[in-house]
Structure 1
Amino acid sequence: MVTSVSGTAAEHAAELSIPPEVQSELKHALPRVAADAVQAIIVEVPSYAEARDYLVGNIESAVQVALGSFLTMAARSDDPSSPLGPARQASYALGKGEARSGRSMDALLSAYRIGARVSWRELSAVAVRAGMSAPLLAQFAELVFAYIDELSAASVAGHADELATAERSQERLLERLALDLVRGASEEVSARRAERANWALPKTITVLLVPDDRLHQARALVDPRTLVLGEDLPDLASREDFVALLVPDLRMPARRRLLRSLRDYGGVLGPSRPWLQTASSYRRALRAARLLAAENSTSGAAYDTDAHLAELVLSADAEALADLRTRALKPLDDLTPAAREKLVETLRLWLLFGGRREAVAAGLFVHPQTVRYRMGQLRELFGDDLDDPLKVLDLVLALGVPTGEIPAP
Structure 2
Amino acid sequence: VFAFIDELSASSVTGHADELATTGRVRQRYLERLAQHLISGEPLQTLQASAEKADWDPPKSLTAVLLPAAQVRGLPNSFGAATLHLGEELPGVDPAESLALLLIPDMDGSLRSQLLRMLKGRRAWVGPARPWTQARTSYRRAVATRALVTVPGADVVDADDHLVELVLGADADAGEDLRRQALAPLEQLRPSTADRLTDTLRSWLLHQGQRDAVAADLFVHAQTVRYRMTQLRELYGDTLNDPQTILKLTVALGITRNRRVSARAPARRDSRAGTRAPRRASAPPPPRKPPAH
Normalised by the shorter chain, which TM-score bucket? 0.7 to 0.9
State yes or no: 1:353 paired with 2:207.
yes
Runs of 4+ in structure 1 deviating by more than 4 angstroms, as ranges, are 297-300
- Structure 1 gaps, min length 5: 1-143
Partner of 1:212: 69
The two structures have a TM-score, normalised by structure 2, of 0.84
Measured in 2, the distance between the counterparts of 1:238 and 1:340 equals 40
| Residue identity opposite 1:194 in structure 2 | A
Matched position secondary structure for 1:334: coil
Partner of 2:116: 259
Measured in 2, the distance between the counterparts of 1:227 and 1:400 equals 36
Matched position secondary structure for 1:205: strand
Measured in 2, the distance between the counterparts of 1:162 and 1:299 equals 48
- Structure 2 gaps, min length 5: 264-293
Matched position secondary structure for 2:57: coil
Measured in 1, the distance between the counterparts of 2:92 and 2:182 equals 33
Matched position secondary structure for 2:88: coil
Identity %: 48
Cα 1:357/1:239, change in 2 over 3 Å? farther
Contact (CA 8 Å) 1:207, 1:281: kept in 2 or not? yes
The two structures have a TM-score, normalised by structure 1, of 0.61
State yes or no: 1:305 paired with 2:159.
yes
| 1:71-110 alpha-carbon deviations (Å, 9 max, x no partner) | xxxxxxxxxxxxxxxxxxxxxxxxxxxxxxxxxxxxxxxx
Partner of 1:148: 5
Matched position secondary structure for 1:216: coil
Matched position secondary structure for 1:400: helix
Measured in 2, the distance between the counterparts of 1:237 and 1:369 equals 51
Q: CA RMSD in A?
A: 1.8
Counterparts of 1:304-323 in structure 2, within 5 Å, are 304-323=158-177
Aligned with 1:405 (options 231, 251, 261): 261
Measured in 2, the distance between the counterparts of 1:213 and 1:324 equals 40
State yes or no: 1:381 paired with 2:235.
yes
Partner of 1:249: 106
Cα 1:218/1:356, change in 2 over 3 Å? farther
More helix by share: 1
Cα 1:312/1:200, change in 2 over 3 Å? same
Measured in 1, the distance between the counterparts of 2:172 and 2:74 equals 34
Measured in 2, the distance between the counterparts of 1:300 and 1:164 equals 40
Measured in 2, the distance between the counterparts of 1:220 and 1:171 equals 14
Measured in 1, the distance between the counterparts of 2:230 and 2:66 equals 47
How much has 1:280 moved relative to structure 2? 1.1
How much has 1:221 moved relative to structure 2? 4.1
Aligned with 1:157 (options 6, 10, 14): 14
Aligned with 2:198 (options 337, 344, 365): 344
Matched position secondary structure for 1:354: coil
Partner of 2:51: 194
Cα 1:367/1:180, change in 2 over 3 Å? same
Aligned with 1:368 (options 211, 222, 235): 222
Contact (CA 8 Å) 1:263, 1:300: kept in 2 or not? no
Counterparts of 1:88-103 in structure 2, within 5 Å, are none
Contact (CA 8 Å) 1:239, 1:290: kept in 2 or not? no
